[in-house]
Amino acid sequence: MAAAKEEEKEEEKDSEDAAAAETEGRVRAWAAEQAARGRRVALVTSGGTQVPLEARAVRFLENFSSGRRGAASAERLVRAGYAVCFLHRARSAFPWARALPPHGPALLDALRLTPGPPPGVAAAPAALPALLPALREYRRAAEAGALLAIEFTALGEYLALLRAAARALAPLGSSVMFYLAAAVSDFYIPVSEMPEHKIQSSEGPLQITMKMVPKMLSPLVREWAPEAFVISFKLETNPQILLEKSRQALEKYRHQVVVANVLESRRTSVIIVTRDSQTPLSLSDEEIAQGMEIEEKIVSYLQGQHTAFIERKG
Amino acid sequence: MAAAKEEEKEEEKDSEDAAAAETEGRVRAWAAEQAARGRRVALVTSGGTQVPLEARAVRFLENFSSGRRGAASAERLVRAGYAVCFLHRARSAFPWARALPPHGPALLDALRLTPGPPPGVAAAPAALPALLPALREYRRAAEAGALLAIEFTALGEYLALLRAAARALAPLGSSVMFYLAAAVSDFYIPVSEMPEHKIQSSEGPLQITMKMVPKMLSPLVREWAPEAFVISFKLETNPQILLEKSRQALEKYRHQVVVANVLESRRTSVIIVTRDSQTPLSLSDEEIAQGMEIEEKIVSYLQGQHTAFIERKG
């Protein structure tokens, strides 16, 4: 049984490695094309990772993230002239698709049968004001090859794909921005300590012990893409410890920027922290009323920082 | 701090209670209408519940479920003449909407700009063969009031809404079917033992102790809707214990049917277990090739069982 389990896990590892190798090739070819066109490239990570609690998993630990920040930022980055590699949790928010109603009754109600002949389906008039500009921008980005979407679900898959994409982008040097907005789990259960079958509730209360996930920022900054401009995100629920944690991260991982935010106010204000500065960005009540998103300010500010970084490096 | 936390939790509890009361009224009015039209009613629960690990939660325990079984079954039940109250996890599979491409690039690619004037959006021809019949059936169901959709996300919300809906449906007696396909967590962390803030990864490995969730089948069968026809689902990864667990559940909760299934084969075969029978249902290779779904056989079989149950009661 244990041998069969080991074998199964090895097969899974092999298929994860094969997928990562395939992704590395795909990102490398795409990045070369972007560089030839003189475009800067951003790798945006987005959404939460899934951590299985059982080998044949029914239960998972999830880090909350709708993927809204990553998706909104990817849209802004494309608008600012970047080509974006969008490494995202499957089914989390997707650039421009977020203008569509959620998948369910709202989406069904936004689509109308047209009598024809031949019969067809058209968007309801009420959906058009949001849908038209989003679809136009998506088409433009797709036709220009400015958006390369890569999906993950499990934590292991995310880590393997991030490494693959980082290596593929390294040749672009300082013109690459890593915009690491995904909510990555800090904890996991090693395969060797994982129960094979569904944990039985009849056995009483559940005790789980999880190990810490190694931080990927260290190898990313030191080995995989040492010339790149790297931005990480820090989300806390307690504002008291936010800035201190952000400074500690910059000190420890030696990357360029931490975007610091508090869970409750994350949609309207952030602090951009670098080794020698901290810049609060926020939306005014008027801007909120106009439907402006904080990602517009974040991307615009970071684009300037990235330009300065490239100039210093060059 | 502790007092503020208690207060916050009480406010949350109050708003959950208010939502449940509102739902109870809505379901009661809808059910009376269905009964007046002579329709049987099914309450279908679907999708997984979310269990927070922190008070201001960033991390969650999730039970895996795409909601596919519940959504497919709801479609079949409506086709079989039932009015369906669909209590489902937000963003999980939804009846007929599952014929649409997933929310993301596939959905964007399935929608085309039509030049106009005025400009519009139409479904791409390739999407129509799946989309047209689904939209037609959805419209028919919506116009007949045969589908009442209610959303949940957190475990507590699910439990409160299930109780509210069950009480509202109780007056319909034996003509109500409870089709409990949701993947409900067995474990949770009581508010009193929950850390307020995001658990810090710097404090080393994570130890979680979870309590057992009280089983809702007991009060459902004994108190909330004692005349109803109640079907629960049992999913195991280990086929060896599946039938024994199903029989134990029937013995313990005194309901009518357990639909037993194994994780890996759940889309092609199940066993319908009652106190004095066990009936395997499965798809043949030919039926799989034709795109038939196992839910067609499950619903058709259970509809017959429900008819016999009503006749025995009457």
pLDDT tens for each residue of B95-123:
999 999 998 999 999 999 998 788 999 99
* In-domain check, residue A31: yes
Total of domains in chain A: 2
Domain that holds residue B83: 2-96+143-227
CATH (domain of B150)? 3.40.50.10300
* In-domain check, residue A186: yes
pLDDT band (50, 70, 90) for residue A77: very high
pLDDT at A45: 98
A161, A181: one domain = yes
A30, A91: one domain = yes
Q: Does the pLDDT at position B3 exceed 70?
A: no
Closest of B215, B265, B211, B210 to residue B237, by C-alpha: B265
B211 contacts on A by Cβ (under 8 Å) = 205
B286, B158: one domain = no
Last residue of a domain, one of A227, A251, A284: A227
* In-domain check, residue A112: no
pLDDT at A6: 60
Averaged pLDDT for residues B187-202: 76
Interstrand relation of B50-52 and B59-63 (parallel, antiparallel or unpaired): antiparallel
A157, A32: one domain = yes
B208 contacts on A by Cβ (under 8 Å) = 206-210
* In-domain check, residue B110: no
B79, B174: one domain = yes
The one-letter code for the residue type at B286 is E
A60 contacts on B by Cβ (under 8 Å) = 61-64
Least confident of A195-204, B117-126, B131-140, B225-234: A195-204
Average pLDDT of chain B to the nearest whole number: 91
pLDDT band (50, 70, 90) for residue A140: very high
Average pLDDT of chain A to the nearest whole number: 91
| Nearest-CB residue to A91 (from B53, B102, B208) | B102
Last residue of a domain, one of B227, B252, B279: B227
A35, A19: one domain = yes
Cβ-defined contact of A122 to B122 (cutoff 8 Å):
yes
B172, B244: one domain = no
Taking one residue from A and the other from B, the number of pairs with CB-CB distance under 8 angstroms is: 203
B306, B267: one domain = yes
B107 shares contact with chain A (CB less than 8 Å):
yes
pLDDT at B215: 84
pLDDT band (50, 70, 90) for residue B133: very high
CB atoms within 10 A of CB B139: 16
A214, A294: one domain = no
B255, B300: one domain = yes
A60, A169: one domain = yes
* In-domain check, residue B135: no
Interstrand relation of A176-180 and A229-236 (parallel, antiparallel or unpaired): parallel
User: What CA–CA distance (Å, rounded) separates B114 from B127?
Assistant: 16
Nearest CA of chain B to the CA of A46: how many Å? 13
Burial of B285 (0-12, 13-18, 19+ CB in 10 A): exposed
